[in-house]
Every structure is written in C-alpha cells, then in structure tokens.
Structure 1
Amino acid sequence: MAAKPSGVDKIRVLIADDHITVLEGLAAIISRQPDMEVVAEASNGRQVVELWQQYRPDVALIDIRMPVLDGVAAIEEIRKNDASARLIVLTTFDTDNDLLNAVKAGAKGYLLKDSRREELLDCIRRVHRGETCLPASLVQKLAASLSREALTSREVEVLEYLARGESNKEISALLGIGETTVKSHLRSIFRKLDVLSRTEAIATASRLGLIKL
C-alpha cells in the first residue's frame, strides 16, 4: 500500500487486522482526526512486520489473532529491530494470558474492539507521547497474572486432556506416566489456579487463555 502524504505534526499510524470491515472502520475513524493519518494497513502478522520496517510509523494498532503470524509474534519481531516501537493491541479477547503475552512482547497499549472511539483515539495519542495505555480492569488482570504461579507445560497437557473428559487412568496412558503422577499434577494445578474441582480448573484455565475449549 502506498503511503499517504504526511502532515508535519500528524501521528503516523499503521493498522493491522484480518477483518476488512474492522480495518476500514479503524482507518476511517483515524483518518478523520486532524492530528493523525493512516500510512499503512496490514491483514496478517507478517505484513505488519514488513510494513513497519518500510514506513516506520509512530504508532501501530495490531490485532492479536491474525493469520501467518499472530499479533504477539509480530510485536516481538518489531521490537527486536526497533526497541522504541510504540504498539497497541486491539482485540476482542481479554483473557489474562493474551494480555500478559502482549505486554511481555512489548505492547504499550491494550484495548478491546468494543472500546469507545474516544478511548481508541486517546490511547493512540497517549502511546505516541510515550505513555502506556492499559484500562484499569486489565491492569488488575495483569497484576493477578503476574502474581499467579505459572503452570508447567506438563500441567497444561494434563489440563487439556482433562478438558476433553479424560479420566486420570486415560491421562496416565496418554502421557505415559503413572496415575499417582497424574494426581500429583492435578493437586499442583488446583493449588496454582486456586480452585477445588476439575470443572472449576477447566473453566478457570479457559478464562485465562491457558486452554481452548
């Protein structure tokens, strides 16, 4: 996509979303602002990285769930080449895991797609000024995620089989471990997630984005 004429004081914005209606809507909103302009639009994560390198925008709005390369991976690549990159995640997902991964990757802002237009524009301006833009509700989730002890990869595997309705004996056979070990993993999972039952563990893990139901 060709770059638009750049105004002297305008915030140059790159937008990335794999849904054309969302992309066009964001472009229309941003282009109407006297202090902003859209310089590039991407429909997948690989394009985001390439267009960032080509146009070096002031701010980028990046969807998390995109084809080819997801938003978090795109953010990580951009930040490797440009540690000062100012990136905002705009998504329909607000699971703790998505938020934590985006912030760890280097996102300076995190907004849900149902945010009001004023919130979106304010976030772009704040991130452009070098500030972070995380809604209070998401800051609380981030704090909770950081304070929670992380599950091991094997514990996540056990959870995934649990979500499929497998019994302890079946999980034992599938993973090639003893039933006593499976029970040990479950006790650890319950403690880390602060839950009391298998059903509650599955629901909590899904909400946190640790497993997909």
Structure 2
Amino acid sequence: MTSSPKIKVLVVDDHPMVRSGLIMILDSEPGLEPIGEAKTGVEAIAAILQDFPNAHITIFTSYDGDENIYQGLQTGAKGYLLKTAERAELLGAIRTVHARQNYVSTSVGAKLASRMNSPQLSKREIEVLKLLAKGNGTQAISAALYVSEGTVKFHITNILHKLDVSDRTQAVVAAYQRGIVDI
C-alpha cells in the first residue's frame, strides 16, 4: 500500500515561538511535513509564486483588516484565516488549499463581503490618507503630492464619505483598523 506524498509546509511568522509551535503542530500531523521557516510574510507570497507557480499558500495571521485580507488574496494566497482559529481549522485550511480549493474563515469572509459593499478608495485617496496618518496637514500634503490645497480637501472629503467617518482623525483610525495604512 503506497501512501500519498506529504503536504510540504513552509512556516512564515515574525515570532520565533509561533514558528516553533506551528512546526510542532504540523510535524505531529499525519500527511503534513514542515520543510522550513522564514520571518517575513506577504511580500514573500509574490516571490514564492514567481519561483513556484504551483505553490498553495494559506495565510494564518493576526491581521484582520479588510485591506490586509484583500491584498493577501490578491497577491496569490488561496487561503486566509486568523490566529484565533482552532488547530483543526488551520489543518483543514491547509488541506483544503492543497486540494486546489480556496479557504477563508467565516470571520474573514464577512470582512471581505463588507469591503465589497463599501466604496473603494482611489490610489490618490490612499496616498492622501497615508500622509494624513503621518500627521501631515492640508498644506504639507498639497506640497508632497504637487496638487492644490483645494484638491487635497476634495480628496479628504471623498475619504471621509467612503470610510463613513466625520473627521480626519476618525479616517486615520479607520484606515489603521482596515489595514489600509500601517503603523
């Protein structure tokens, strides 16, 4: 009786203890084989897929902002679940993605659905929002983007509307929560 080949898993996490724990879990699970570990995440997805286009990538993360989720899946991951998931869900997600099916946890799916139903920020609005998050005012943003202050105010008005907030501070908070800007 021949056994099917093991699913090879590369564990990527910036916390050494988390990597060690995941490797122990995977190593004890029949049919799974941890083959290595790395420290950095989402940028690695594109690099892995460029060298290994048939790789099946599942993101297991604490980043639950809708933009984080969207970007991870846009980059090529086929699975996305949060670190609040139970062991069985993680192992099931790995096997599901390996079987060439997509997997998103229920909470991740809800965030994606919410994102799909809300107006999307333009590239320029994201640039303005990132500059706002760094503490820049209208005049500084105007200078940085080589546009008029009126244009900056126009973009800020659109940002407030699209994020459904009433001021710049709330916009920055919403952007952090959704993963549009990083700390």
Give the TM-score of the pair, scaled to structure 1: 0.74
| Greater relative contact order structure (CA < 8 Å, 6+ sep) | 2
Partner residue of 1:33? 29
Residue pair 2:60, 2:80 contacting (<8 A) in 1 also? yes
Residue pair 1:23, 1:41 contacting (<8 A) in 2 also? no
- Structure 2 portions without partners, runs of 5+: none
**1:167 is the counterpart of 2:137:** yes
TM-fit CA distance, 1:202: 1.3
The partner residue of 1:191 within 161, 166, 179 is 161
- Aligned residues: percent identity? 39
Moved more, 9-18 or 130-139: 9-18
Equivalent pairs, count: 181
Partner residue of 2:38? 43
**1:8 is the counterpart of 2:8:** no
- Structure 1 portions without partners, runs of 5+: 1-6, 45-65
**1:155 is the counterpart of 2:150:** no
Aligned alpha-carbon RMSD (Å): 2.3
Residue pair 1:98, 1:209 contacting (<8 A) in 2 also? yes
CA distance in 2: counterparts of 1:22 and 1:168, whole angstroms: 42
Q: Tell me: CA distance 1:153–1:26, structure 2 relative to 1, closer, same or farther (3 Å).
A: same
Partner residue of 2:76? 106
Partner residue of 1:88? 58
CA distance in 2: counterparts of 1:212 and 1:35, whole angstroms: 37
CA distance in 2: counterparts of 1:171 and 1:42, whole angstroms: 40
AA in 2 matched with 1:106:
G
Moved more, 166-175 or 199-208: 166-175
Give the TM-score of the pair, scaled to structure 2: 0.84
Moved more, 140-149 or 128-137: 140-149
CA distance in 1: counterparts of 2:7 and 2:149, whole angstroms: 58
Partner residue of 1:24? 20
AA in 2 matched with 1:34:
P
AA in 2 matched with 1:189:
I
TM-fit CA distance, 1:101: 0.9
Q: Tell me: CA distance 1:74–1:196, structure 2 relative to 1, closer, same or farther (3 Å).
A: same
Deviations 1:153-191 (A, max 9, x none): 332232233234443344334444322112111112122
